[in-house]
Amino acid sequence: MEDSDTYHFAVRPTGILEAPEKAIRAIQKSEFYFHPLRDSNGNSIKVSGSGNLDNELVKMAVSLSGSPQISQSLLSLTMQRLIDMSVNEEWKNRQRILILVNSYNQAKLVAQTISTQIRSEKPDWMVQYLVRATGDESREQESYWEYLEGGAKRLSRPNLSNIGMTEVPTVLVAPLLAVGRRHNILNQEGTAAFGAIFFATRPMKTPDDISRWVYWINYQTIKMLQNPNAWEWYGASNPKDRLLCIRRQMNYWWSRIEGYKPSVIMRIPSLRRSMAATMAAIVIQASGRLLRGGVPLLAYFLDAAWAPGSASLKSDTNQTSLLVEMINIIGEYCQNPIGQTLFDPLNTALQNIKGLEIKNNSDKEPYEDNTEGGDY
């Protein structure tokens, strides 16, 4: 991800593993939806940036599993669709839904809320939440009693790869970054165990999280070093002067970006683009768990924060919606041969996302993008 300050490697690839044509065609059949959930008053539920994440997550879990009624909820309809499609080879034994949140505590909260909602009507479903490996058998026993009492069951992270070994309809709630990489979660057919993925939150670091800006400064330093003819080097005739130029430029950026809120970042093109590219990498990695074996997926973005305009039955631009900017960036990457090989099958599906109203933005950016040295 060239524009990501977190996931980009400044080394050009020397080779790419191409997927079989059959797998490419299957992945292109994936379906993406922007589906903001609504509370009992009909208002769209915005988790990210709400200031009360737990309260909004409970509202979202209730709406997801019980609105307008359990059998007609998005969760039930999606599971039933996966069961119905299981007669097709691409969807066989994939009646599992992965719900992604920001943390392990949130995973337990959402799973317990869903289990409480559906337990009486869906006794054959397994609702689980991911936990870190503890090695403590007593905690596993505690989870068993929680399950008997109607609660969600704990799933230890090292056991995640075994979730596809049974054919029980399963809902797993997990932190986004805990399943995004390193895991091959397969069923008995050797394809992705999960058929659908719900992005319940729009992950974004808080303004006071210094790590975000450390990544950004490091990224800008690399870009500066890769461009020896940049004007920032003017007058630097020796290594000492060049180091001073780097320090001065990084100090300049740091003094301006520290503490920026997400609403401000969305108005600065270079920062917005970097944030969207990082988000695209995270979403692609998570979605990749459901593409193993060359099969399609169903993906839903549930948090109204992904696209506030569309959630309000209006429209969004890349300045109002991180989801729009993310889709635009992936589309741009597919314009070059490397990006096309890596992202084109998933991009084909993303470009046809349903529920997202995109307005072409021809207006001038509110802020000039002067992060190459100017003020903003």
β 31-34/298-301 pair status? parallel
Give the Å distances, CA to CA, from 347 to 38, 222, 352.
28, 28, 9
- The structure's pTM equals 0.86
Tens of pLDDT, residue by residue over 177-191, are 888 666 789 999 999
Which of 288, 324, 290, 292 minimizes the C-alpha distance to 308? 324
Domain boundaries along the sequence of the chain: 22-206+275-350, 210-259
pLDDT bracket for residue 365 (50, 70, 90): very low
Neighbours of 18 (CB within 10 A): 10
Give the Å distances, CA to CA, from 212 to 51, 216, 219, 254, 315.
19, 6, 11, 11, 29
pLDDT bracket for residue 150 (50, 70, 90): low
Q: At what angle do helices 269-288 and 322-333 cross, to 10 degrees?
A: 80
Tens of pLDDT, residue by residue over 65-98, are 998 789 899 999 999 999 999 999 999 999 999 9
pLDDT at 31: 96
pLDDT of 50 > 90? The answer is: no
pLDDT bracket for residue 23 (50, 70, 90): confident
Alpha-helical runs (H) found in the chain: 21-28, 53-66, 74-85, 104-118, 137-148, 176-179, 210-225, 239-257, 262-265, 269-288, 308-311, 322-333, 337-350
Please, which residues have CB within 8 angstroms of residue 249's CB and are 6 or more apart in sequence? 220, 224, 232, 373
pLDDT at 129: 95
Q: CA dihedral in degrees (138, 144, 146, 147; nearest 10)?
A: 160
pLDDT bracket for residue 374 (50, 70, 90): very low
Which of 328, 320, 314 minimizes the C-alpha distance to 365? 320
Weakest mean pLDDT among 160-174, 192-206, 292-306: 192-206
Tens of pLDDT, residue by residue over 255-310, are 766 656 666 777 778 788 888 898 999 999 899 899 999 999 999 999 999 999 99
How far apart CA 97 and CA 64 sit, in angstroms, is 12
3-state secondary structure of 185: coil
Phi and psi (nearest 5°) for 266? Answer: -65, -15
Number of H helices, E strands in the chain: 13, 7
